[in-house]
Amino acid sequence: MSQSNFLKLVNPEIGFLPMNIEYAASLNLPFVAKDALSKEKGVVICGTAPSLVKAQSLREIKRLQGLGYKIFAVKQAIRILPEYDIIPDFSVAMDPSEKQIKKTPLDPRVTYFVASSCHPRMFDYLIRGGANVVVFHSACGAATENLCEMEIYAKFFPQNCNYESVASGGYTVVNRAIALAEWMGAKRIHVAGAPFGWRESEDYYAPTVEEPAGNASGPTLDDQGRVDGKKWFTKADLLPSALSVARKAKASPEKFHFIGDSLAASLATKSHEFLERVVPSKSAD
């Protein structure tokens, strides 16, 4: 499968992205500031997997928050975490479809990092609700007949466009949240509830997530226990996403940490040769 066809598979809204970016630019919202978190102790990036709401994970997230770590919530983690007395500092959204609106409750205590490629109605929903909205760029494959992705960003965001400022790596919003944290200068990054796969007889999402379980439909990949001795199931977009995080963790083990079971954490224990056999690095980053 070609790269362009794969991008269409993982992002069916790709044809609308240039128009979405143009609309985001017209709002004149603030752009996420480089090194804004450089003086903080670190961040915890929270996904929506079942491990997020396990007692041990919640205790560790609360402990880190008590030490001054900032909490990033992706997808419906912004709704789940307050149920356990954890108020996120930031929400991260990159889904360009309107369905993102339903998954994103309004909370005046939260700053919303929204990809410039998100749907115009997502921006309208947040702004009309009084939310604090900050824009970032996500590597999303946007293109027109005449312009590539970076040229589109340069056209509409001339003051905020360079390769370093575009959040990339993998295909999931957790990858984008990690890239944002790095751009903002986070010293330590803990990843919770983001396994990039699931174990046998387990779901991909926490019980209260209003979305079908990740293993409910579509083709899956099975590692036959080769990564850590116990089967992992994943998908074509999740595997390179896990590998992208695993490579970051291998390169900076003092910076990256995992809370709960994670395919990325298991892959980070493997050799570089093993990771290259799974997915070449140019495909994962």
| Residue 164's pLDDT band (cuts 50, 70, 90) | confident
In this predicted structure, the answer to whether residue 13 has a pLDDT above a threshold of 60 is no
pLDDT at 2: 41
**Among 245, 223, 21, 250, CA closest to 136:** 21
| Residue 8's pLDDT band (cuts 50, 70, 90) | very low
Alpha carbon distance 247, 277 (integer Å): 13
| Residue 161's pLDDT band (cuts 50, 70, 90) | confident
In this predicted structure, the answer to whether residue 4 has a pLDDT above a threshold of 50 is no
Per mean pLDDT, which range of 77-86, 154-163, 178-187, 212-221 is the poorest?
212-221
Pairing of strands 43-46, 70-74: parallel
Residue % of the chain over a pLDDT of 90: 67
Q: Using CA of residue 253, residue 256, residue 259, residue 264, what is the dihedral sign?
A: negative
pLDDT, tens digit, 9 for 90 and up, residues 101-146: 988 999 999 999 999 999 999 999 999 999 999 999 998 877 787 7
Partners of residue 73 on adjacent β-strands: 46, 91
Q: Do the beta carbons of residue 195 and residue 51 sit within 8 Å? A: yes
Alpha carbon distance 281, 285 (integer Å): 6
CA distances from 247 to 7, 29, 101 (A): 22, 33, 32
Mean pLDDT, residues 250-261? 96
In this predicted structure, the answer to whether residue 216 has a pLDDT above a threshold of 60 is no
Pairing of strands 232-234, 198-199: antiparallel
